[in-house]
């Protein structure tokens, strides 16, 4: 008899667990709060949507608007904001649709694919926000140099450009690191298992 | 309607809770984690219970939801979650005349399974539960051929651990 067949025989005589729950206890457990990673992805995703879109409440918008007016950027800001919110709405809809599709009754691989897809929507949303931030930084820097061109020396223009690039890169790096850390920790196990199953399917 | 569904769920789950307990023993190594995972499996089975069609066996369906929870949804956290008075539940120690040697060997099997990766754990578990390859491949979402190939590898790994 094969070694595993022996263990299988023992497994077939598996005793009932000593911690068997009554139906009242199962009822309480079933109605308690879930701590699944899907729930966390949903909560973190929502926080990201809210935080990134509520930044205007922390910035003095009237001062920013008068500055844009002075630089002749008011039309650009107006139209880019409209496009920005249309894209944000699209991301929100996709995020919600993907989240609703997640079902534990799917096969293990399908479930993992759907979880990763939902997370990718949030990742793309963050990437979109960061790109928009970079675009605004570049446009504002160029406009402010243009506005004050006559008063600035070449050296000053160079310094302003370098400072803007450094600040932009620093902000991007910090945000990216935070983001990678957040989802890296949350999805470490899932990513490992997903890769194992994907490797399995790609094997000939 | 909800009450009827709830009653059916409680009856089905209570009868089949050993599926969840076994999975918890395979995927966790201590009592707190066992309880956490058991709780999450109970929540997930209840959440998707309305999707369960009576044309399949409840136990077959529960294997999938429970394994999905253990492999994809459950993330061991260092900070203990607060579950509803689970510690207050008095565990009923079942009087059993279960063979002492078999109990020792079963413990050795669990310990060996702890050394496998999550996917291999699922494969070995389904093998021990006598599941056909068709069901194994459907549960994992891989082809039947891949399931066979991978199963053989997982079995070899387990054998090596059990008889070094």
Place of tokens 């894209």: A87
State the CB neighbour count (10 A cutoff) for residue A62.
8
Number of domains into which chain B is organized: 2
Does B90 score more than 60 pLDDT?
A: no
For residue range A107-140, list pLDDT tens digits in order: 888 988 998 888 888 888 888 888 888 898 888 8
CB A126 within 8 A of CB A88: no
Average of pLDDT values for B122-132? Answer: 95
For residue range A73-107, list pLDDT tens digits in order: 888 888 998 998 899 889 889 988 888 888 888 98
Which residue of chain B has the CA closest to A22? B14
Distance of alpha carbon B122 from alpha carbon B118, whole angstroms:
6
Does B148 score more than 90 pLDDT?
A: yes
What residue ranges do the domains of chain A occupy? 35-194
Least-confidence region, from A189-198, B26-35, B69-78 = B69-78
Interface test with B, best of A6, A24, A38, A105 (most B CBs within 10 A): A105
For residue B106, give both structure tokens.
């079963």
Q: Kindly indicate the confidence band of residue A71, based on its pLDDT and cuts at 50, 70 and 90.
A: confident
Interface test with B, best of A6, A9, A29, A110 (most B CBs within 10 A): A29
pLDDT (0 to 100) of residue B100: 66
From chain A residues 12-41, the ones with a CB under 8 A of any chain B CB are 12-23, 25-38, 40
Q: Kindly indicate the confidence band of residue A56, based on its pLDDT and cuts at 50, 70 and 90.
A: low
Distance of alpha carbon A33 from alpha carbon B138, whole angstroms:
29
Give the residue from B160, B120, B157, B158 showing the smallest Cα distance to B140: B120
| B106, B138: one domain | yes
ipTM above 0.85, yes or no: no
Q: How many Å separate Cα B28 from the centre of its chain?
A: 10
Does A49 score more than 90 pLDDT?
A: no
Does B80 score more than 60 pLDDT?
A: no
Distance of alpha carbon B83 from alpha carbon A26, whole angstroms:
12
| B54, B109: one domain | no
Residue ending a domain, among B45, B76, B107, is: B76
| B105 falls within a domain | yes
Q: Which CATH number fits the domain that encloses residue B109?
A: 1.10.10.10
- Would you call B114 an interface residue with chain A, using a CB distance cutoff of 8 Å? no
What Å distances lie between residue A185 and A7, A21, A35, A51, B75, CA to CA? 36, 32, 15, 21, 10
pLDDT (0 to 100) of residue A123: 82
For residue B67, give both structure tokens.
């394994």
| B160 falls within a domain | yes
Question: Which structural domain, as residue segments, surrounds residue B71?
Answer: 1-76
- Mean per-residue pLDDT of chain B: 84
Buried b (16+ CB within 10 A) or exposed e, B120-151: bbbbbbbbbbebeeebbbbbbbbeeebbeebb
| B89 falls within a domain | no
Comparing A129 with B91, the larger pLDDT belongs to A129
**Residue of B34, B81, B98 with shortest CB distance to A35:** B81
Name the strand (E) or helix (H) holding B12. Answer: helix B2-27
For residue A137, give both structure tokens.
């930084």
Does A52 score more than 80 pLDDT?
A: no
Which residue of chain A has the CA closest to B50? A105
| B71, B2: one domain | yes
| B2, B63: one domain | yes
């Amino acid at each position: 008899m094969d070694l595993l067949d022996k263990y299988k025989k023992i497994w077939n005589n598996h005793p009932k667990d000593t911690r068997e729950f009554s139906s009242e206890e199962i009822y309480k457990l079933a109605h308690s709060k879930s701590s699944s990673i899907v729930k966390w992805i949903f909560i973190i995703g929502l926080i990201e949507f809210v935080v990134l879109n509520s930044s205007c409440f922390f910035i003095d918008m009237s001062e920013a608007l008068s500055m844009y007016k002075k630089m002749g950027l008011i039309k650009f800001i107006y139209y880019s904001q409209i496009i920005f919110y249309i894209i944000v709405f699209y991301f929100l809809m996709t995020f919600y649709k993907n989240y609703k599709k997640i079902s534990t009754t799917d096969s293990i691989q399908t479930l993992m694919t759907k979880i990763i897809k939902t997370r990718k929507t949030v990742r793309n949303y963050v990437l979109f926000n960061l790109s928009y931030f970079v675009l605004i930084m570049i446009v504002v820097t160029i406009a402010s140099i243009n506005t004050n061109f006559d008063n600035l020396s070449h050296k000053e223009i160079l310094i302003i450009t370098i400072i803007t690039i450094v600040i932009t890169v620093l902000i991007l790096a910090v945000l990216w690191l935070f983001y990678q850390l957040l989802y890296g920790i949350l999805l470490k196990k899932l990513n490992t298992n997903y890769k194992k199953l994907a490797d399995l399917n790609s094997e000939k | 309607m909800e009450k009827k569904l709830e009653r059916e769920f409680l009856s089905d789950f209570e009868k089949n809770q050993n599926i969840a307990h076994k999975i918890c023993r395979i995927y966790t190594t201590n009592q707190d984690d066992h309880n956490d995972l058991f709780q999450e499996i109970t929540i997930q089975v209840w959440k998707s219970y309305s999707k369960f069609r009576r044309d399949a066996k409840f136990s077959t369906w529960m294997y999938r939801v429970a394994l999905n929870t253990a492999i994809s949804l459950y993330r061991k956290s260092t900070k203990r979650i607060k579950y509803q008075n689970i510690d207050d539940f008095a565990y009923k120690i079942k009087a059993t005349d279960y063979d002492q040697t078999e109990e020792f060997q079963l413990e050795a099997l669990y310990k060996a399974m702890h050394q496998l990766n999550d996917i291999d754990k699922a494969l070995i578990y389904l093998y021990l539960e006598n599941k056909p390859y068709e069901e194994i491949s459907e549960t994992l979402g891989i082809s039947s051929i891949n399931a066979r190939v991978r199963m053989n590898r997982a079995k070899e790994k387990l054998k090596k651990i059990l008889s070094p």
